[in-house]
Structure 1
Amino acid sequence: MTPVLIGSEIYRGSSYGPWHPLRIPRVSTVMDLARALGWLPEGRFRASPRARAAALLAWHTPDYVAALERAEAGQAVSEEVRARHALGTTSNPVFAEMFRRPATGVGGVMLAAELLRDGGAVHVPGGGTHHAFPDRANGFCYLNDPVFAVLALRRHGARRVAYVDIDAHHCDGVEHAFAADPDTLVVSVHEEDRWPRTGALADRGVGNVFNLPVPRGFHDDDMARVRDGLILRAVAAFRPDAIVLQSGSDGVTEDPQSRMALSNNAHAGVLEGLRPLAPRLMLLGGGGYNPWSVGRCWTRLWGVLSGRAVPDRVPPEAEAVLRALRWDRRGGGRAVEPPEAWVTTLADHWRGGAPTEGVAGRLAEISGRLRAWT
Structure 2
Amino acid sequence: MTRQAHIGPLMIASGIYRRSSYGGLHPLRVPRVSTVVDLARALGWLPAERYRQSPRAKAAALTAWHSADYIAALQSAEASGEATPEMRARYGLGTVANPIFPQVFSRPATGAGGILLAAEMLGHAASGAVHVPGGGTHHGMPDRANGFCYLNDPVLGILRLKALGMARIAYVDIDAHHCDGVEFAFAGDPAVRLISVHEEGRWPFTGRLGDDGGGNAFNLPVPRGLNDTELRVVLEGLIGPRVAEFAPDVIVLQAGADSLLEDPLSRLALSNTAYLAVLAALRPLAPRFLLLGGGGYNPWSVGRCWTALWGTLSGQEMPDRLPLEASEVLRALSWMGGARPPPAPAMLSTLVDAPREGPVRPEVQERLRSLALRPG
Structure 2 length-normalised TM: 0.96
2:55 counterpart letter in structure 1 = P
Kindly state the Cα deviation for residue 2 of structure 1 after the two structures are TM-superposed.
2.8
1:93 counterpart letter in structure 2 = P
SS at match of 1:206: helix
**2:216 counterpart of 1:208:** yes
State which of 23, 27, 35 in structure 2 corresponds to 1:21.
Answer: 27
Kindly state the Cα deviation for residue 335 of structure 1 after the two structures are TM-superposed.
5.8
Name 2:3's counterpart in structure 1. Answer: none
Name 1:313's counterpart in structure 2. Answer: 321
Kindly state the Cα deviation for residue 334 of structure 1 after the two structures are TM-superposed.
3.5
2:210 counterpart letter in structure 1 = A
Identity %: 62
Name 2:170's counterpart in structure 1. Answer: 162
Kindly state the Cα deviation for residue 280 of structure 1 after the two structures are TM-superposed.
0.5
SS at match of 2:291: strand
Name 1:86's counterpart in structure 2. Answer: 92
2:164 counterpart letter in structure 1 = H
**CA deviation vs aligned residue, 1:118-161 (integer Å, no higher than 9, x gap):** 12000000000000000100000000000011112122231111
Distance in structure 2 (CA, Å) of the matches to 1:327 and 1:88: 23
Distance in structure 2 (CA, Å) of the matches to 1:85 and 1:108: 24
State which of 325, 337, 341 in structure 1 corresponds to 2:333.
Answer: 325
1:143 counterpart letter in structure 2 = L
**2:369 counterpart of 1:364:** yes
State which of 328, 342, 347 in structure 2 corresponds to 1:342.
Answer: 347
Distance in structure 2 (CA, Å) of the matches to 1:182 and 1:335: 44
Distance in structure 1 (CA, Å) of the matches to 2:346 and 2:128: 32
SS at match of 1:106: helix
CA contact (8 A) 2:184 2:213 kept: no
**2:269 counterpart of 1:264:** no
Kindly state the Cα deviation for residue 356 of structure 1 after the two structures are TM-superposed.
2.7
**CA deviation vs aligned residue, 1:75-132 (integer Å, no higher than 9, x gap):** 1111111011000000000000000000001100011112212120000000000000
Distance in structure 2 (CA, Å) of the matches to 1:154 and 1:87: 30
Unaligned runs of 5+ in 1: none
Structure 1 length-normalised TM: 0.97
Distance in structure 2 (CA, Å) of the matches to 1:212 and 1:335: 30
Matched ranges for 1:143-292 at <5 A: 143-292=151-300
Distance in structure 1 (CA, Å) of the matches to 2:362 and 2:97: 32
1:227 counterpart letter in structure 2 = L
1:57 counterpart letter in structure 2 = T
CA contact (8 A) 1:185 1:238 kept: yes
Distance in structure 1 (CA, Å) of the matches to 2:303 and 2:87: 34
Unaligned runs of 5+ in 2: 1-6
SS at match of 1:250: helix
Distance in structure 1 (CA, Å) of the matches to 2:369 and 2:206: 20
Deviates more, 1:348-357 or 1:309-318: 348-357
Task: Calculate the aligned-residue CA RMSD, in Å.
Answer: 0.9
Matched ranges for 1:64-83 at <5 A: 64-83=70-89
Distance in structure 2 (CA, Å) of the matches to 1:194 and 1:338: 25
**CA deviation vs aligned residue, 1:272-321 (integer Å, no higher than 9, x gap):** 11101111100000000000000000000000100001100011110010
Distance verdict in 2 for CA 1:335–1:355, change over 3 Å: closer
SS at match of 1:87: coil
Name 2:357's counterpart in structure 1. Answer: 352
CA contact (8 A) 1:326 1:335 kept: no
SS at match of 1:193: coil
Distance in structure 2 (CA, Å) of the matches to 1:105 and 1:83: 25
Distance in structure 2 (CA, Å) of the matches to 1:365 and 1:223: 16
Matched ranges for 1:50-69 at <5 A: 50-69=56-75
